[in-house]
Amino acid sequence: MWCWRRMLRVSWTEFRTNASILQELGIKQRLSTLVQSRILKLFGHISRRDNDSLDRLVVQGKVEGSRPRGRSPMRWTFQVKAMVGNPVHECTRLTTNRERWRDIEILSCRSAFRHDIETSSSITEFADLLIIKNHFISSSFPEVYTAFLLFPSIPVTSASAERSFSKLKLIKT
């Protein structure tokens, strides 16, 4: 952001948001957001491979030998652990279910998406819908869950599940 502010000659005393700077430059998605998303996608892809796969052994850090002196370098597993908030062995277990891992990927990049112009308004709603779809609605309101699958354009949130169901009743009749 500092580099882009310098390009536009925006002083630090001007109170401009990061979103306004990105909008002025025409940048829809930040590079850090894209990198985070792709790291999680590749981690899921590699973790689903068989146990004898060389790239899986390297990424998960199961290589024999001693490490060099000094501070240990930043590893993929540290980044995945920081983004998802779970230990690496738990993340590896979660990657076995592709659909669930995609949901986790979207939710873990949620804080990074907050700065993107393209997704700033819709990512919160989408992430909330994923949580609701997977946990809340399917058990509490099976009719709303079925309607959500049939009519995905109708908004369903935890606060308005009942209202959405009543809208669907009106549409049906």
Tokens coding 127: 């992430």
User: Is the pLDDT reported for residue 154 higher than 80?
Assistant: no
pLDDT in tens, 46-98: 888 888 888 887 777 766 777 778 777 777 788 888 888 888 888 888 888 88
- As a whole number of angstroms, the distance between CA 164 and CA 155 comes to 7
Q: Domain limits of the chain?
A: 30-59+75-154
- As a whole number of angstroms, the distance between CA 149 and CA 156 comes to 11
Tokens coding 69: 């002196």
Is 122 in a helix, a strand, or coil?
helix
User: Is the pLDDT reported for residue 109 higher than 50?
Assistant: yes
Biggest distance spanned by C-alpha atoms of the chain = 72
- As a whole number of angstroms, the distance between CA 19 and CA 32 comes to 15
- What is the pLDDT at residue 3? 86
Closest CA to 151 of 171, 132, 135: 171
pLDDT in tens, 15-28: 888 888 888 888 87
Whether 61 and 77 have beta carbons less than 8 Å apart is answered as yes
Averaged pLDDT of the chain: 71
Least confident of 9-13, 37-41, 63-67: 63-67
- As a whole number of angstroms, the distance between CA 103 and CA 105 comes to 5
Closest CA to 99 of 133, 65, 72: 133
